[in-house]
Structure 1
Amino acid sequence: MNFASVRMITEDVDSLVAFYEHVLRVSAERSAPVFAEFVLPSCTLAIGHTQTTALFGVDAANASRAMNHPVILEFHVADIEAEYERLRTFIHDWVQQPTTMPWGNRSMLFRDPEGNLVNFFEPISKEAIQRFNKRH
């Protein structure tokens, strides 16, 4: 089995797509006005309108904005300091500027326009680098 994607549900697909196009530096694939995908080498980030939840038999109220606060979308980046400089004036809701974590990653955390947490991280300790090298 392979992990295929994470889908975020929103009332404003266009706004969230524009945000992630800037943050990820990847153009979204738009197969329908109510659906978009960011196809990355490691996974796909999908964005769907609340209207799409009915197709799964889920009431839109049960898939509403800001219900995923315990979830953090994480992106492994090559240079955390460069990413911070690139995004520091674009991001409006910083949770944490680049900080070295006890497990060996340098990490920065922010919220997207829907309130979802996003973590960019770079392994910097020898152990963290080895751990991630084994995965790729």
Structure 2
Amino acid sequence: MRLVSVRVITNDVARLVEFYEQVTGLEARRPAEQFAELVAPSCKLAIGSAETMALFSAGAAVPESNRTAILEFLVEDVDGEYERLRSLAVSPEIVQQPTTMPWGNRSLLFRDPDGNLVNLFTPHTDEARARLAR
């Protein structure tokens, strides 16, 4: 089994796609107005409209209600990303400025326009780098 995609359901696909394009530097593929994908080397971030949930099961996912999952992106320089994000037109709500965590990652936490928590992180210690290399 391989994890290949994480999908976020939103009421405003265009807004969320623009946000993630600016944050990641990736250009989204948009096979339909209600759906887009940002393809990274390790996984896809899919963004679907609330109306797509009718294709699965009504009410199975509710936009703007997530308080349990964190979307995590590995970056080269968390502190540099923090400075870059602060200058974007879609500057996110910062939850935690760059901080070195007890497990050795340097992390920056912020919220996307729908309130989803996003973590940009860099392994900061030898142990954290070794764990990521496995």
Whether TM exceeds 0.5 here: the answer is yes
The correspondence of residues 46-125 of structure 1 with structure 2, limited to 5 A, is 46-59=46-59, 62-90=60-88, 91-125=91-125
Encode CA deviations 1:37-68: one digit per residue, 9 max, x unaligned: 01111100000001100001233xx5222222
CA RMSD of aligned residues (A): 1.0
Paired residues for 1:16-55 under 5 Å: 16-55=16-55
Higher percent of residues as helix:
1
Q: Which residue of 2 aligns with 1:133?
A: 133
Does the residue aligned with 1:63 lie in a helix, a strand or coil?
coil
Report SS of the residue matched to 2:76: coil
In the alignment, the residues of structure 1 paired with residue 114 and residue 4 of structure 2 have an alpha-carbon distance, to the nearest angstrom, of: 22
Give secondary structure in 2 for the equivalent of 1:122.
Answer: strand
Aligned to 2:47, what secondary structure does the other structure show? strand
**Residue 11 of structure 1 aligns to which amino acid in structure 2?**
N
CA–CA distance in structure 1, aligned partners of residues 25 and 87 of structure 2 = 16
Structure 1 counterpart SS, 2:92: coil
Query: How far is the alpha carbon of 1:100 from its aligned partner?
Result: 0.5
2: CA distance between counterparts of 1:97 and 1:44? 26
Structure 1 residue runs without a partner (length 5+): none
